[in-house]
Structures are given as C-alpha cells and as structure tokens.
C-alpha cells in the first residue's frame, strides 16, 4: 500500500508542481483501496475542497494501477480533525443534493446554485437571463449563450440553471456536458457505430447545458452533430444553454450555420468583478465554508487578487487550511506571508523578470527556455510578448529588457514591440489576451 501511494505521489508531484504538492498532497495519506473505493486521510476539510476543485479525478487516475480490471475508482476522504456540527450539516445537505442529482442522471456540482452566486455589476445581466431561463425553460431566451474570461463564474452560472430546473421541474431531463466530453462521445459513437444511441440521448433532453463550447473549433464531425442536436431541441422548444470563453463571432473555424444557431437567442457576457463584488464573494465563500475571516483580510484579498474568482477562492482555502493546521487565526500578516507567491506588494516595482515569468506561465513554457538563446518558433512569440509587456509596464531600459529574454539587443526589443502592437490591433483574440496579461500584471 505504502509503495503504491509513494509512486502515485511522485506522479502527482510531477503533475501539479513542487509547490502545490508540498502544500496539498504531501500531508495526505492513503488508507486503503477496496471495492472500487479509495480512502484517504486528510488533515481537514479544506484539503478535500482544494483537491477536488483544482484536480478533480487526479487521485483516482494515479491510483488506477491499484484498481481491479480498470474499474472507475471512487475517492472518499476521512478527516482527522473533529468536524464541527455546522460543517457536518452542510456536508449532509450537499450529499442530499448530490444524491438527488445522481438519481436523475444529472452530473452537476451541487454547490453551484443561485444562492451561492454573488451578483454584481459584472454579472448582473447574465444572472438575470439565467434566472429567467430557469423559471421558463425553452420559452425565455433560447439559446442562452454566456461568455467571459476564465474563472469568472460561467460554469457556476449555467450549473445553477441546471440545479434550479431539476428542483422546479420534476420530470425534466437535464444534462450538463462540456464540449470536450461531447466531442469524445461523438468520436466514440462514430467509431462504434452508435450514432443512433447518441442522437436518442441528446435529442430527448429538456435542458442541455454545454460548457466551454469553444473547444469545438476545427472539429467538423462534432459541429455537425451539435448543430443537429441543437436544431432538434430548439424546434421542440427545449432549452439550450451554452458557455464559452469568447463570443460566437470569435470562435474560429466553426460552420456558419452553427454560429448562427449560437447567435439566435440571447448573448450575455460576464466581466471581471469590481472591488465591491470581490469583497461580497469572499464574504459569501467564507460564510458558506465557515472560515472566520476578519474584514481587513477580506479587503486585503479583494484588493490584491486581480486575476479571477477562482484564484480568490483558492487564496481563501489556502488561508483556512493553514490556519486550521497551525491553530493560528487568520490575519493580515498571515495572508501576506502565505500568499506571497501570488500577491504583489505595491511598493515593489514590477521587474522585467516578473513579467517574463508571467508570460512564460501563460504560454506554459519554461522561463529558462525563454531566456536561452534558442530560436524556436514556439518561444519567439512569448518572448516578443514579454519584451512588449516589459516595455509597457516597467521602467527598465531596452537593453535591460533584452538581456532578460535571451540577450537581445535594443533593436530587437524595438522590433518586438512594433510586431506586437500591430498584432494587437489586427487580431482581436490576441488583443484580448494581451489586455488580460496587462490587467493581471498592472500594479
Ligand atoms: P468559469 O467557468 O468562468 O471558468 P467557474 O464557474 O468555474 O468559472 O468559477 C470559478 C469559481 O469561482 C467557482 O468556485 C465559483 O463558485 C466561483 N464564483 C464565480 N463567480 C462567482 C460569484 N459571482 N459568486 C460566488 N462565487 C463565484
Ligand atoms: Mg468553466
């Protein structure tokens, strides 16, 4: 048993990186694998929360070798600390909802309900549309197409429609699917000659929730199947809800008729939350998870975390885990110390190094590759982006900038800035991405 877990931990370490491994996976112990079930010992409930939110399926996957003939493993957690009664009650409520959903064949996150969703200026419109749709599925806006950046609450919002409809309409067939899952199903059906079954499954729904539809770019067979599915559902006045990280017009390589299907109902965007909304979201989350959070820490987080709501929640859980491990109450100093890798202090000017690091992370490449004198194509653009952003955001000189990204001279930096400026203006998606990076890095 010990060996299996050690091997699994090695894989996890590689997958999630040293930092998260030490924080979240190292303290976890494997108790047993039995009857298709994995039992893990964890120090407190925040570990379960964090692991499930950030790496769902990972533990089951790395323990697959321990399963009997490739069966799907279920992961259960055993919490070593004494659980407070309120937390227990909450868990029971969630379990009840989970069971109800499962009995109707709906796989939705039971936590993603309207009650847990904070409404602010940034998501007001999308929220109102979602409420209307859940009260009157098939009759209000069809399809409802929600788009916005990552971690801004799209999955939560469309799942809330699903959860609400399950509660309100006892006989409704509700189905949540990511476009990746849908693609896999189409591929599988085609390969095994089961397209009729697939059609029967999807065309008998009362509500379909399709998450992250942008992944169907370039996939012709999937687009074809999706188009016919949506058409059939639409004509039968069944509700369609779609999410995407960009509006329909920016989804590339999608057939015209599918795009126009996306465009036929209501399109609602979700924007990054304003400060007040961020504060309200942290308060809500702290309340739901019963994490004692002083107001000053709430405001500190809301001000410091620029990127998205998922990161905001991640910080909260990290603080809660630390606090319950050490027994120390959460305060500003703890927040500053524990979150120092995410939070940038105002008085520290942004360095070229930090910019390069953020760009490397964004593109999923190594900082060292960006700095090496190599000339590979997949490094060229990130490198230019880094030079451009460093020029925009830091006071560094051209030669300082050039030095950090692989010893380029100042002419190369100027050229890079020109290239990126042009690309920013001519390519909308690219422009949006640069905008996002700028916002994230801006002090
Ligand atoms: P997306 O699908 O847009 O990437 P998610 O729906 O997964 O984002 O949201 C990320 C996390 O932030 C989830 O845990 C979600 O519950 C939370 N969240 C997002 N928006 C809100 C909000 N308005 N109020 C409360 N929690 C939110
Ligand atoms: Mg999502």
DSSP state of 246: S
Atom of ligand 1 nearest to the CA of 119: 23
Q: How far is the CA of 374 from the centre of ligand 2 (A)?
A: 36
Minimum CA distance residue for ligand 1 atom 19? 153
Backbone angles phi, psi at 32, to 5 degrees: -160, 160
- Which ligand 1 atom sits nearest the alpha carbon of residue 309? 12
Among 156, 243, 305, which is best to mutate for testing ligand 1, by the most ligand atoms less than 8 A from CB?
156
Calpha distance 28→77 (Å, rounded): 10
What pLDDT score does 83 carry? Answer: 66
Q: Which atom of ligand 1 is nearest to the CA of 277?
A: 23
Name the closest ligand to CA 280: 1
Residues written for the chain: 443
How far is 246 from 325, CA to CA, in rounded Å?
40
Pocket of ligand 1 (CB under 6 A): 116-118, 123, 150-156, 281, 284, 309-310, 313
pTM value > 0.85: no
pLDDT of amino acid 346: 56
Q: For residue 150, which atom of ligand 1 is closest to its CA? A: 4
Residue nearest to atom 5 of ligand 1 (CA): 153
Of all atoms in ligand 1, which is nearest to the CA of residue 312?
12
CA R_g for the chain: 24
End-to-end CA distance of the chain: 48
User: Mean pLDDT for each 10-residue chunk of the chain (443 residues)?
Assistant: 88 86 89 89 87 87 82 85 72 84 88 94 96 95 95 96 95 94 94 93 95 94 94 96 95 93 95 91 90 91 86 91 88 90 68 89 83 77 93 88 84 92 90 83 70
Say what the pLDDT of residue 348 is: 65
Residue nearest to atom 14 of ligand 1 (CA): 310
Q: Please compute, for residue 356, the number of CA atoms within 13 A of its CA located in the half-sphere on the CB side.
A: 22
Q: Which of 158, 309, 313, 317 maximizes ligand 1 atoms within 8 Å of its Cβ, making it the mutation to test the pocket?
A: 309
3-state secondary structure 29-46: EEEEEECCEEEEEECCHH
Atom 20 of ligand 1: nearest residue by CA position: 153
Residues with CB under 5 A from ligand 2 (ion): 155
């Amino acid at each position: 048993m010990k060996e299996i877990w050690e091997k699994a931990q090695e894989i996890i370490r590689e997958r999630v990186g040293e930092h998260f491994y030490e924080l979240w996976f190292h303290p976890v112990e494997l108790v047993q694998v039995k009857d298709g079930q994995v039992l893990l010992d964890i120090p407190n409930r925040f570990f379960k929360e964090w692991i499930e939110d950030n790496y769902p399926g990972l533990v089951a996957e790395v323990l697959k070798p321990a399963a009997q003939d490739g069966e799907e493993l279920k992961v259960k957690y055993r919490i070593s600390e004494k659980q407070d009664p309120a937390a227990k009650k909450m868990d029971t409520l969630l379990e009840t909802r989970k069971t109800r959903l499962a009995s109707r064949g709906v796989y939705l996150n039971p936590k993603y309900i309207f009650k847990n969703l904070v409404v602010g200026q940034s998501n007001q419109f999308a929220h109102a549309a979602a409420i209307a749709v859940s009260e009157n599925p098939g009759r209000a806006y069809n399809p409802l197409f929600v788009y916005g950046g990552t971690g801004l609450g799209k999955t939560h919002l469309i799942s809330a429609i699903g959860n609400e409809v399950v509660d309100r309409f006892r006989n409704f067939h509700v189905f949540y699917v990511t476009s990746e899952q849908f693609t896999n199903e189409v591929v599988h059906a085609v390969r095994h000659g089961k397209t009729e079954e697939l059609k029967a499954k999807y065309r008998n729904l009362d509500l379909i929730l399709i998450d992250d539809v942008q992944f169907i770019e370039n996939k012709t067979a999937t687009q074809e199947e999706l188009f016919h599915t949506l058409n059939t559902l639409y004509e039968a006045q069944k509700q369609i809800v779609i999410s995407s990280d960009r509006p329909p017009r920016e989804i590339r390589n999608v057939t015209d008729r599918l795009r126009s299907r996306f465009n036929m109902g209501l399109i609602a965007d979700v924007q990054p939350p304003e400060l007040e909304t961020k504060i309200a979201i942290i308060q809500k989350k702290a309340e739901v998870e019963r994490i004692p959070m002083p107001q000053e820490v709430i405001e500190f987080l809301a001000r410091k975390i620029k990127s998205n709501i998922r990161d905001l929640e991640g910080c909260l859980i990290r603080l809660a885990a630390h606090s319950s491990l050490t027994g120390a109450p959460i305060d500003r100093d703890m927040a500053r110390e524990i979150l120092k890798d995410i939070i940038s202090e105002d008085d520290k000017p942004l360095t070229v190094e930090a910019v390069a690091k953020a760009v490397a992370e964004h593109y999923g490449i190594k900082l060292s590759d960006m700095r090496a004198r190599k000339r590979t194509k997949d490094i060229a653009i990130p490198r230019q982006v880094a030079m451009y952003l460093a020029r925009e955001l830091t006071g560094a000189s051209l030669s300082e900038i050039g030095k950090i990204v692989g010893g380029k001279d100042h002419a190369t930096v100027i050229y890079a800035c020109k290239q990126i400026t042009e690309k920013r203006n001519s390519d909308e998606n690219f422009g949006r991405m640069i905008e996002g990076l700028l916002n994230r890095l801006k002090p």
